[in-house]
Structure 1
């Protein structure tokens, strides 16, 4: 019988320790695996080591423990001695349907219990399992009536609301591929994506509500439709029913346009049942896209079983999500975290969708914008709350303490876990969460990517939380740290590139388009650096050999190398957030080395000053350099520090370091439309010219 290892190294600062680890699902899984296979596993590290040394046995146990619903049984889990590229096959011989596993989870929730809560700035919608299944049935039959077939693409220019989940599940039930783009995305960025995958059906919102204002989408949708010649059906969700929205002007060149209500009503047999196509495990379910910050985004295609297995493993074991829980993630439909959130249905949990500003309270009168999400947690009894590191750092800068808020304190009594991703979570923000938000929650600073639609490193309910560290490398994910020469330096604690050395089912099934061209894009994206046996992810990290925790240091292509010393930009950002939060609103740190000009790399730090900052740039720069020298090292001190008007970010709020780095290095690059505020890059071009 396994027990929890109490011999924990405490050199890193421990902020939280689980009080009843033996009551978690991961402990139960570890116990059952130990008994079945006759092995002794006494802690998480032993379970992780077994999961990566015996991948076929591990994933087979995940299949059974999480209750995958299949039409045909698998013949083989995984061939032995497989490399990661070309992608190996998992669970060959089986057939299943992704949508069926989400709509009819193994936990068999009561059909009248709540499956989905849809929340906006203005209202709430509660949808039972029975109602959700009925809505998917109607939508799926309408899609079939419109001629949709297995393998067709269905796109959504839609917000994070219940209709989006219904449309996705309906498409997946047939075997079509779903691809979603948030309505706040610019037309050029939308078309960069959708023109590549040629959707047959497009769902679009007629408007969105954000920060108390209704934003019509007629002009955007009209332009998008006009550039998609293969589009056969445009289906419009009437988010704002009073909004004037001329359907005739939106008609696809070779198709039709219809409101969602009329789309459903057009089905000839209104009593037709919901049917689930029986599909191979690697049959695609989602198409996501690379960031596209320095060129056209690459369409990444994810398979049904790999996505399902990985998400169920993460939800049940790493997050300890149960059927009675309520899972929330503040996300757009473009971000991979939307897909991760929706998969919560497969564990029988209630998913909470929110479409709107995170600073817009439902009850505006006497409210406080910073309290909007804490109040939502209390109101909807959310147990697992996910957001971006940027949002949490903004709360930290505002010194918000929900339990002591003067106007209306909140208890957050239902909250058991907080998840953060999108960028590294600063050590100071770890302490802020435990001192000001909640003292007894699992803080899961997690990391993965669109590339794997899941996590490489995650939270763990049987491990402590240490300041500044992700708790663990995920089960089944053979994560190591390599130096530039391909040596494994994980045990040294030194920083290097995050790699994965054992196949896992959530690898993309392909890059679009199918065939040699897409396959070559796939290979170059992850296997150009260390070869077909090593997935090179592009993150710069280190593993703490004492705790097993992982520290994110930024992206590999943004690694700073002055005088040959390698470090990540996150180290600089953490210092600024800790010491200069009142003076600096945001920052960007990159290296500049111009060919034929510079013999070494210069670290350049740009600061977006906070409103009303009293300091001059030279005075502030001198203090920053002194603090960095003291807290990090002389090698970390930026050679140039200057103020800037804006920090370029993607639509998900990630800093666009690489584009600025290439501008400063004098490279002529094409900036992709995924830079949400791309016009600000002109300032960096001017700065580079003026400081040459």
Structure 2
């Protein structure tokens, strides 16, 4: 039998009543208060979490503009400090900070005191290299403990962290890091993925050559590099120090809006957007979100010995979410490798067996993972003892009703009929969640239980009016603390404004289709814009075009993603070839190789079609969104204004392909 457990959101509500006399008849009343009185709500989060600052603040929200909201002016915080505050209590309880495993079965545990020592050693090593507060540190690293240590070391001294995964194409990584002019590069010279050791030494050397701002290189050495990488320091050397300076080290107090990290969210045009988030904003939104996510503390009285796992690569924002488990005092469980085995030997039991081995209590993954397990006929009862799992997290794309029912049935068979699904929808853009779970609300397969506290989310129709029970644009009408401070290098906030505020000035437009029902539950129907969403990883179409149109055979191209509720991502690439060429196996192979090399194998199209023309507006913009709507079954006349097109005659060809692409 599990010990009695009180959900985090219930503890928070009980505290609100005891401390402030605030009673709410239902969740909707609590949510309405949280968005209606932002000052009181975010103040309560600060107080409930026991947040501390050596300096006072003049207001909770001094300026409510979007973008440009000013939160907690005067406050000083540090992300790493909030993580490391757990060290003594967690050590006394004998719970580890990090458990990691990989495809080779190499299990490691990192204690809380050892985490603190390595973070301090790494931070001091950065200082010895001359790194200063505000410098950017670029990391090309897999999902391993060293990456966590490096991130916390950077955060502790005020340097700005940015990470890309080694499974990303070289050009995709370069396009991101070149924008932020990093001073330091931390890179793995090799990784092991999908059953293979992969040499990354040449990639690291190429990155260094393409990043002239890099002055120092720290290399995480592996057994898979074909040649040594020239480095100023090995990672092992950077964390080897254990002296009085390390033991006396404390993270620096930083302004609330001091940049913590730079993440990337791709739009349909231009380079990936380098989004800058602040220490304070991420801390506050992580704390508020935890009331919904229900990630507990490993050593607290109301504890189940929390072991939190969310499968992710370092290139997905869920890596950031995984690390935030440390803020709660949870043990985080990292898996480095493929969730589905290798191409030659697919195995969708890998993560389940990992979870059983390490007694995971909270298991999260992309919706596509659960769908793959269902299709593969996985029987989790044959994967070891999974009885400690109390919550299943899902995000990345809409989780279908069928898949959720399959997972619930699987857990009922092993004696956990009350398994809770925390289906969430948020974004890299603000490193948070708009809509998600609530432990005490009804759970309906295929639906998200509620809008998050503090998130003034609505569905708007084409007239910009809020609607209930209808599909509309997901908007957020009031700021939340983790919205980007700015885009790196974005003069006058031009890209920031055009990315989220061009349609509704002063209101965040997220780019998803949303329906909110009377019971407050929600359904996300997929992307309302042209961004490609592959298994939770979003990529701008511009990056795919750059790869494909660099080929001499390709004159023009357009890509659409037919992700929609209950469907997996289905990516269709249209190419216009030079006169006399046809889309044969050789041309298709070169297109695939270009995408694989420059972007990622994850973004290979499901179907490639040779088109006569790419439909464009009079201003030359590709008509991705209208064509996507046509292929999702909407009438052509409703979604395309032919008078605004440069070549409306080509539309008949696209309509003719509709049946083929639904079947083929």
TM-score range, shorter chain: 0.7 to 0.9
Cα deviation for residue 506 of structure 1 reads 0.9
**Alignment check: 8 A CA contact 2:456 2:478 kept:** yes
Question: Is the 1:107–1:347 Cα contact (8 Å) retained in structure 2?
Answer: no
For residues 37 and 270 of structure 1, the distance between their equivalents in structure 2, rounded to whole angstroms, comes to 43
Alignment check: 8 A CA contact 1:294 1:670 kept: no
| Corresponding position: 1:506 with 2:478 | no
For residues 460 and 120 of structure 1, the distance between their equivalents in structure 2, rounded to whole angstroms, comes to 32
Whether contact under 8 Å (1:52, 1:475) holds in the other structure is yes
Q: Distance in 2 between matches of 1:524 and 1:225?
A: 32
Alignment of 1:111-122 (within 5 A): 112-122=94-104
Shift of 1:270: 6.4
Cα distance in 2 for partners of 1:441, 1:107 equals 32
- TM-score, structure 2 as length reference: 0.78
8 Å CA contact 1:558–1:569 kept in 2: the answer is no
Corresponding position: 1:452 with 2:430: yes
Give the TM-score taking structure 1 as reference length.
0.75
| Partner Cα distance (2:429, 2:31) in 1 | 22
Distance 2:472 2:601 in 1: 25
Give the distance between the partners of 1:26 and 1:236, measured in 2 at CA: 42
When residues 664 and 392 of structure 1 are mapped into structure 2, their CA distance, relative to the original with a 3 A threshold, is farther
Is 1:94 the equivalent of 2:75?
A: yes
Distance (Å, rounded) in 2 between the aligned partners of 1:443 and 1:655:
30
**Deviation readout 1:499-521 (Å, 9 max, x if unpaired):** 111221011111111642xx111
Q: CA deviation at 1:84?
A: 2.1
- Match in the other structure for 1:630: none
State how 1:322-471 maps to structure 2 within 5 Å: 322-323=297-298, 324-360=305-341, 369-403=347-381, 405=382, 409-438=383-412, 439-471=417-449
2:517 matched to 1:544? yes
5+ unaligned residues in a row in structure 2: which ranges?
299-304, 532-560, 575-590, 624-650, 659-664
Deviation at 1:689, TM superposition (A): 12
Contact 2:9 2:294 in 1 (8 A): no
Partner of 1:527: 501
1:582-621 residue CA offsets vs partner (Å, 9 max, x unmatched): xxxx73489x9xxxxxxxxxxxxxxxxxxxxxxxxxxxxx
Number of matched residues?
566
The one-character-per-residue Cα deviations of 1:666-691 (angstroms, maximum 9, x if unpaired) are 577799xxxxxxxxxxxxx9x96996
Aligned CA distance change for structure 1 residues 265 and 345 (closer, same or farther; 3 Å):
closer
Q: Is the 8 A contact 1:388 1:421 kept in 2?
A: yes
Which residue pairs with 2:21 in the alignment? 38
CA distance in 2, matches of 1:180, 1:210: 18
Query: CA 1:479 to 1:422, structure 2 compared with 1: closer, same or farther past 3 Å?
Result: same
Alpha-carbon distance change, 665 to 106 in structure 1, aligned in 2, over 3 angstroms: farther
1:369-388 CA-partner distances (Å, limit 9, x unpaired): 22111111111111111111
Please say if 1:59 is aligned against 2:9. Answer: no
The answer (yes or no) to whether the contact 1:495–1:542 under 8 Å persists in 2 is: yes
Give the 5 Å matches for 1:22-421: 23-79=6-62, 82-85=64-67, 87-105=68-86, 108-110=89-91, 112-122=94-104, 123-240=106-223, 243-248=225-230, 257-263=232-238, 271=246, 273-292=248-267, 294-323=269-298, 324-360=305-341, 369-403=347-381, 405=382, 409-421=383-395
1: distance between equivalents of 2:621 and 2:4? Answer: 51
Which whole-Å CA distance do the structure 2 matches of 1:67 and 1:661 have between them?
60
Give the 3-state SS of the residue equivalent to 2:272 in structure 1.
Answer: coil
Once the two structures are TM-superposed, the CA of residue 660 in structure 1 deviates from its matched residue by: 9.6
In 1: Cα distance, 2:435 partner to 2:466 partner: 17
> Deviation digits for residues 31-56 of structure 1, max 9, x if unmatched?
22134333331222221111111111
Flag as ranges the 4+ runs of structure 1 deviating above 4 A.
Answer: 19-22, 263-272, 568-571, 648-657, 659-664, 666-671, 687-692
| Corresponding residue to 1:473 among 451, 457, 462 | 451
C-alpha distance in structure 2 between counterparts of 1:514 and 1:291, whole Å: 15
RMSD: 3.6
Structure 2 counterparts to residues 655-666 of structure 1, below 5 A? 665=615
Give me the whole-angstrom Cα distance separating, in 1, the residues matched to 2:464 and 2:83: 40
- Superposed counterparts of 1:10-29, under 5 Å: 23-29=6-12
Q: Judging changes above 3 Å, is the alpha-carbon distance between structure 1 residues 310 and 238 closer, same or farther for their aligned structure 2 residues?
A: same
